[in-house]
Amino acid sequence: QVQLIESGGGSVQAGGSLRLSCTSSEYTYKKYCMGWFRQAPGKEREDIAFMSKDGRRHYFPDSVKGRFIISRDNAENILYLQINSVEPEDTAMYYCAADGRPECYTLPLDAFPWQGRGTQVTVSS
């Protein structure tokens, strides 16, 4: 069982930056697809960042492309999400997820079997 713990959330003013961290209990490089999704009150879950098992492929939806960066420290088993030029619409609970199955490349992130409890990001205008 993979345990994921998110951190780094908080309150930030619009236009600022924030870096979220997701610490894994297991070594993830070349073993797990990983990513971030978010959920805001009254809205559907949204996949916002995906990283392939080898870390070479990234995916971002248009809503965050160019502002969000996903990266991983393979030695420390930490997945990061850098959020730049934050907008009030980025206010949400952010979750980290991992999946080691072959089908992880075709599944939405909230279908990944391993998920953290989330970290809250609140953006004020």
Taking the C-alpha atoms of residue 100 and residue 22, their distance in angstroms, rounded to an integer, is: 16
At 84-114, the pLDDT tens digits run 999 999 999 999 999 999 999 999 999 999 9
Taking the C-alpha atoms of residue 88 and residue 51, their distance in angstroms, rounded to an integer, is: 25
Instruction: Work out the pLDDT band at 50, boundaries 50, 70, 90.
Output: very high
Three-point CA angle 45, 79, 122, nearest 5°: 50
Characterize the bridge pairing of strands 119-124 and 10-13.
parallel
84 touches 67 (CB < 8 A): yes
Percent of the chain with pLDDT over 70: 100
115 touches 47 (CB < 8 A): no
Return the amino acid letter for 56: R
